[in-house]
Structure 1
Amino acid sequence: MTADVPEIALSKQDLREVTAFAAACAEAVLDMFEADRPDDPRPRDAVRAAWEFARGGERGRSLRDTAWAALKAAKDTDSAAAREAAWAAMSAAGAAYLHPLAKATQVKHVLGAAAHAARAAELAAGDDRGAGAGHLEQAVRRATPLVVDVLRRFPAAPSGGGRVGELVRVLDADLRSLTFTADSRRSDG
């Protein structure tokens, strides 16, 4: 890659686990997009492609094409909540392309779908930050030890990015603070 930025070891299983996490987070808000644009399958197709990769499929054109299509779907809606839900779907498909570079900006590949989903929930609830907090709590519960391990290989999330960037940083801090027992379940410690 580049001489200035160290590489991070990422296996295909690491990418599959991160993509499954992102797909589950995005899937939770697809109905917000579909309520606004019921005949537009593009975000759901992106989440479906993410799940296919997470479950053993190839990382290829389908992921890229559906991610781009979900991005276009986001541009085709006037609803801010629906737009964030489509961006969550785009981020889910894009999670498979987490780059093995030790750069803070890569954290959004891991947590972007969850942050966009949380923002969609906030907007759907009249900009209620409590709704976003609830989605972040669900994301913390969804995160497997492997997702947290992958996240910890990268520097902490960078500043900026507006409200979604803030949600990424909150989730990043919450996940990095988790501890797991020897049998890979979270403990309260």
Structure 2
Amino acid sequence: MELDLDELRALTSWAAACAERVLPLIPDDPRPAAAITAAREFAAGGPRTKALRTAAWAALAAAGSAADPAASAAARAAVGAAGAAYLHPLESPHQVKHIVGPAQQAALARELAGGSAEAEVEWALSQAPPEVRVLLHKFPPGKPGKTRLGELHHRLESALRD
């Protein structure tokens, strides 16, 4: 399987847009915002650099240190946005988590903050470029999860595959 940079840039752009919507849920930590900025730079044509990976790891640390579960999920959405540039060309359902993860975490963050996960999912689906759908079809389907996060994953993946 091959993944080209245009596909990865489209995915990363969409992932960053999803994550950015819940960024206000973690206002006091600049690391998730920095990860989204790094993701946007790659999506706009920049190279995949160590700085992009470093920003993703820093956002993951922010997720781990956030006391509020909504803030933690928002930070994880940013991690996924920065990490989307590094999607692996492995025919594994695990890679699907990296495709839908930012939207999934954004929906969870919205719900944990008292909003509607479904509205967030619908927004993400409406914004997904055709390249994301094509990219997703290169990977085998994942299994529905038993947790709320798994439900959101299944909802996003199923709709993107239709």
- Asked whether the two chains share a fold, i.e. TM above 0.5, the reply is yes
Normalised by the length of structure 2, the TM-score is: 0.96
1:66 aligns with 2:55: yes
Map 1:10-159 onto structure 2 (within 5 A).
10-34=3-27, 38=28, 40-125=29-114, 131-159=116-144
Taking only aligned residues, the RMSD between alpha carbons, in angstroms, comes to 1.1
Return the alpha-carbon distance in structure 1 between the equivalents of residues 70 and 43 of structure 2: 26
- Post-superposition CA distance 1:85-120 (Å, at most 9, x none): 000000100111110011001001111000000000
How many angstroms does 1:52 deviate by? 0.4
How many angstroms does 1:75 deviate by? 1.4
Return the alpha-carbon distance in structure 2 between the equivalents of residues 68 and 143 of structure 1: 25
How many angstroms does 1:157 deviate by? 2.2
Asked if 1 retains the 8 angstrom alpha-carbon contact of 2:144 and 2:153, the reply is no
How many angstroms does 1:162 deviate by? 2.6
Q: How many residues align?
A: 162
What amino acid is the match of 2:75?
Answer: A
Return the alpha-carbon distance in structure 2 between the equivalents of residues 98 and 63 of structure 1: 13
Larger Rg: 1
- Post-superposition CA distance 1:13-48 (Å, at most 9, x none): 1111111110000000000111xxx2x210000000
Q: Could you tell me which residue of structure 2 aligns to residue 187 of structure 1?
A: none
Q: Could you tell me which residue of structure 2 aligns to residue 4 of structure 1?
A: none
Return the alpha-carbon distance in structure 2 between the equivalents of residues 23 and 58 of structure 1: 16
Partner-residue secondary structure (3-state), 1:150: helix
Return the alpha-carbon distance in structure 2 between the equivalents of residues 136 and 117 of structure 1: 8
Richer in helix (by share): 2
Structure 1: gaps (5+ residues): 1-7, 178-189
Q: Could you tell me which residue of structure 1 aligns to residue 157 of structure 2?
A: 172
What amino acid is the match of 1:17?
Answer: A
Residue identity over aligned pairs, in percent, reads 48
Cα distance, 1:73–1:169 mapped onto 2, change above 3 Å: same
Return the alpha-carbon distance in structure 2 between the equivalents of residues 161 and 32 of structure 1: 25
How many angstroms does 1:76 deviate by? 1.4
